Amino acid sequence: MQKSLLPYPSISQLSKTDLAYATLEPALEPFYRYAPLPENFHKAIRDRAGVNTPRELLVHVLEEQYDALPDISPVRDQIKALLHADTYTVTTAHQPSLLLGPLYFIYKAITTINLAEAVQKETGKRIVPVFVLGSEDHDLEELNHIRLFNKTITWEPNLGGSVGLMPAATLALVLDELKPILGETENAQALWTIIERAYRQSATFADATQALLHALLGRFGLVVFNMSHPDLKRLFIPVMRAELTEQASNRLVSATIEQLHAKGFKTQAMPREINLFYISPGHRERIVLEDVMYKVLHLDKSFTREEILGELEAHPERFSPNVVLRPLYQEMILPNLAYVGGGGELAYWLERRAQFEHFGIPYPILVRRNSVLWVDKDAIKRSLKFGFPIARYFDDTDALVRAYVEAQADAEVSLAAEIADLHRIFEHIAQKAVAIDPTLEKAVRADEVKTAGQLQQWESRLMRAEKQKHEVSINQLRALKEKLFPGNGLQERSDNFIPYYLKYGDRFLDELKANLDPFDNGFLLLEDL
């Protein structure tokens, strides 16, 4: 593989906040504690060293969750290491997604694995990479489908509530649809064995996702962690009680959002008055405070203040933090130094620093996951025909087509020079008109606009005529652009890992492991030469 980096500011598909943090713009400095630089992890360890972490419970829960999974020694050793006070974690998180969802799911995991190795080398401490599954999320439509070989595979469990807690048995139809699509190659059979075992031998969708990640990335020491556990939730009771009675998160995060707005950054995750859901069979619904009563939306359930606090003490597992509160829960349980996320995720973490300080929880270093454009030999071969470097395909499709047509045309297609000459001529005319009668300038400018428009129409006619001569090549160019940037978006936000695994097998994951560097400052371009 040939690796190259493209400067983040050259990638038009990235948001303003994403670019600002990726390039460490000074405007964002007040919203994080330490920049994502290797030397700053010593400071993060110093901050974490005095924090009480429930290590024995953490290890007990992990061993319980891994009990039914194949024993992979790097994972087993990582879990046991968490018992020691000088072992720390670096973490990423995502809701369980059908067949691991878009490619960035894998990229987040491998960036975290490589970050753990880099920080361990930098600090001399044991660093464990942890993938936290947001198993209580209920956004089914965000995670229940993938696009595979121009076909959409959709999981329809016909259930409500937390998606990760839904029975894995509801995925039977997905497996039936998937198997013939995979084919019968050696890689296909190996992958089918992994997927079938993960989905058919697991109790819940979250369990299946953990099993699939374990099978694919366990050899690299990745620990997959489901935090939906009653004993872990019990440790979070003080924060949840404060959320119910004081609503500090709403005030603190809203104030930070206003500060970000003043600097020109958009809201990523707006807080609510109470940032907790209530979980019951088939439901995960918001808790709201109306007058003096706590009500669960869409359910005939309400509590007085004393009743809901009693319910929290007796059944903390029934309370589920939303996106505003979840980071606190994660950082209370894990001895964590850094969080690895995409641009959108880090944008909402940047809204949280004051909230963390209020609850006395160390704020982790925020590390942007690696973004990748993977280009196979076929795409490279097709690209050579058009004479564009791969980096040029980040441009808009119409801009690419125009550039190609202009390069192939027998005569100059663009009339930009002529239009510029026209504006200069009319500028001289306008100056003379104003000297004679200032009221004439408006008529001159109107004729200027009209004449320039006529030249632009002629330019369009010339371009259409030239496009007709190269119609076949233009269609091929559009097809290549669609392959690399589905729907004119980033490959990593659309493609699933399966086609790549079918083509490359474990080499796909090995190449990512070898090339993703969490401290690279740029968008990663991997070309299979």
pLDDT confidence of residue 413 = 65
Q: Where are the alpha helices (DSSP H) in 279-376?
A: 305-314, 326-333, 343-349, 353-359
Instruction: Look at residue 204 and tell me whether its pLDDT is greater than 90.
Output: yes
pLDDT confidence of residue 138 = 87
Count Cα atoms within 13 angstroms, Cβ side, for 493: 12
pLDDT mean over 363-378 = 96
pLDDT confidence of residue 245 = 96
Contact partners, residue 349, CB within 8 Å, separation at least 6? 32, 327, 339, 341, 366
pLDDT confidence of residue 254 = 96
pLDDT confidence of residue 486 = 92
Instruction: Look at residue 469 and tell me whether its pLDDT is greater than 70.
Output: no
pLDDT confidence of residue 411 = 58
278: left (phi over 0), alpha (psi -120 to 50) or beta: beta
- What average pLDDT is seen over the chain? 94
What does the alpha-carbon distance between residue 275 and residue 355 come to, in Å, rounded to a whole number?
A: 13
State pLDDT tens for residues 374-416.
999 999 988 888 888 999 999 989 888 888 877 776 657 678 8
Assigned token pair, 167: 């029975």
pLDDT confidence of residue 455 = 87
CB atoms within 10 A of CB 440: 15
Q: Which long-range contacts (CB under 8 A, 24 or more apart) does 148-153 make?
A: 148/178, 148/181, 148/496, 148/498, 148/499, 149/181, 149/499, 151/181, 153/98, 153/99, 153/177, 153/178, 153/181
Contact partners, residue 157, CB within 8 Å, separation at least 6? 140, 144, 166, 167, 170, 171, 205
First to last CA, the chain: 6
State pLDDT tens for residues 306-354.
999 999 999 999 999 999 999 999 999 999 999 999 999 999 999 999 9
What does the alpha-carbon distance between residue 87 and residue 126 come to, in Å, rounded to a whole number?
A: 5
